[in-house]
A and B are shown apart, each in its own frame.
Chain A
Amino acid sequence: MITTTLADTKQTTWAEVFSTTQGAIFQSDEDRCWYVNFAGKLAKFDYRCLLKLKKAVYNVNIEEKLLSSAKDPDLEIIFICACDHTYILSILQIIALKEILEGTFVMLQLNSIIHDKLYRAAF
């Protein structure tokens, strides 16, 4: 658990879901959303948008990008429909963001299991 002070000075408690040296994703129970700290910005994602971000990043064909001999800069635009954020990332950043997202979804799944075992299950 870490405590972060938002720009609007509202005191919010966030739980770190997963982090690497490149960035991190936090969950805010109060706002029922996630904060993605990556590529120099902190962006808020609700449930739908986080799933869309995951899909967009997972859909990038990293292998093809790495093997491509095209001269164009290896920048990928991650645009998420109906969400406020767009990322323009290099292929290395894509790999880093993918790692963070993979870790995040494993941790969220683990959180579900913990809830099942501690609060929901009758066994």
Chain B
Amino acid sequence: MKDLMRVRSLISNEVEALLNQQVKKEALSSSIYLAMASWCNRNGFDYSSEYFFKQAEEERHHQLKFYKYILDMGGNAISPEVTGIKQEYNSFREVFEDALDQEISVTQSIKKIYALCLQEQDYVTNEFLNWFLKEQREEEYKARRALELFEVIGEEGTGQWEIDKHVGKIKYDSEA
């Protein structure tokens, strides 16, 4: 009996399902960042707004990377429905707390896919995921650094204005 399944697709149905879930997660991230960009802009935090616009675009790029990988491997990429995006925030700081939460949840779900691939010996997908693991290092660093600014600068007086200015300058360059 021919192995008709493997002939059609490099990835298993289970890996495909998780990758599609990740497509949705990245799309969700993109929409969340877009909402954050709007909130920051409306409240006078222009540098942060710009920062979130950039993040939104990056997440869209991540989404497409997963999407195309699924298709290239013979799978069925599913265009996700994204609803329930939070549009209002109670404070400037809350925006960044939510941003870090979102990045942590993305890191966790990529780790979950990685674990399944190891179990299945799907090293091809593991290798594909390596780029995302490195990316999450940067993403979590930046989100954590932004929150740190609230500690070291403080929100009193012109604090928020200072924080906003520094958010635009957050960079992660690691040799490792």
Tell me the B1-18 residues at the A interface (CB within 8 Å): 1-6, 8, 13
- Are B2 and A108 neighbours in the complex by a CB distance under 8 Å? no
Asked if A115 is at the interface of the complex by the 8 Å CB criterion, the answer is yes
Question: Chain B interface secondary structure, helix, strand, loop or mixed?
Answer: helix
- Are A27 and B1 neighbours in the complex by a CB distance under 8 Å? yes
- Are B1 and A15 neighbours in the complex by a CB distance under 8 Å? yes
- Are A115 and B4 neighbours in the complex by a CB distance under 8 Å? no
Convert A16-45 into 0s and 1s, putting 1 for each residue whose CB lies closer than 8 angstroms to a CB of B.
010000000001010011000000000000
Chain B: interface residue count, which band? under 10
- Are A32 and B4 neighbours in the complex by a CB distance under 8 Å? yes
B2 contact from A32, A48, A51, A105, Cβ within 8 A: A32
A113 (CB) vs chain B CBs: closest residue: B3
Residues of A within 8 A of B6 (CB): 112, 115
- Are B3 and A27 neighbours in the complex by a CB distance under 8 Å? no
Residues of B within 8 A of A123 (CB): none
Q: What's the Cα separation between A48 and B76 when bound, in Å?
A: 9
Convert B1-40 into 0s and 1s, putting 1 for each residue whose CB lies closer than 8 angstroms to a CB of A.
1111110100001000000000000000000000000000
- Are A29 and B13 neighbours in the complex by a CB distance under 8 Å? no
- Are B5 and A29 neighbours in the complex by a CB distance under 8 Å? no
A14 (CB) vs chain B CBs: closest residue: B1
- Are A111 and B3 neighbours in the complex by a CB distance under 8 Å? yes
- A105 CB to closest chain B CB (Å) equals 8
- A23 CB to closest chain B CB (Å) equals 19
Q: What's the Cα separation between A97 and B8 when bound, in Å?
A: 24
Q: What's the Cα separation between A111 and B1 when bound, in Å?
A: 8
Q: What's the Cα separation between A83 and B125 when bound, in Å?
A: 30
Residues of B within 8 A of A108 (CB): 4-5
- Are B13 and A112 neighbours in the complex by a CB distance under 8 Å? no
Residues of A within 8 A of B2 (CB): 27, 29, 32
B1 contact from A29, A33, A47, A51, Cβ within 8 A: A29
Residues of B within 8 A of A29 (CB): 1-2, 4
| B contact residues vs A (CB 8 Å cutoff) | 1-6, 8, 13, 76
| A contact residues vs B (CB 8 Å cutoff) | 15, 17, 27, 29, 32-33, 47-48, 51, 105, 108-109, 111-112, 115
What 7 A-B pairs come out closest when comparing CB atoms? Answer: A115-B3, A15-B1, A29-B2, A47-B8, A112-B6, A108-B5, A112-B3
A sample of 7 more A-B contacts (CB under 8 A), given A47-B4, A108-B5, is A15-B1, A27-B2, A48-B76, A51-B13, A111-B3, A111-B5, A112-B5
5 contacts between A and B (CB under 8 A): A29-B1, A47-B5, A48-B76, A108-B4, A115-B6
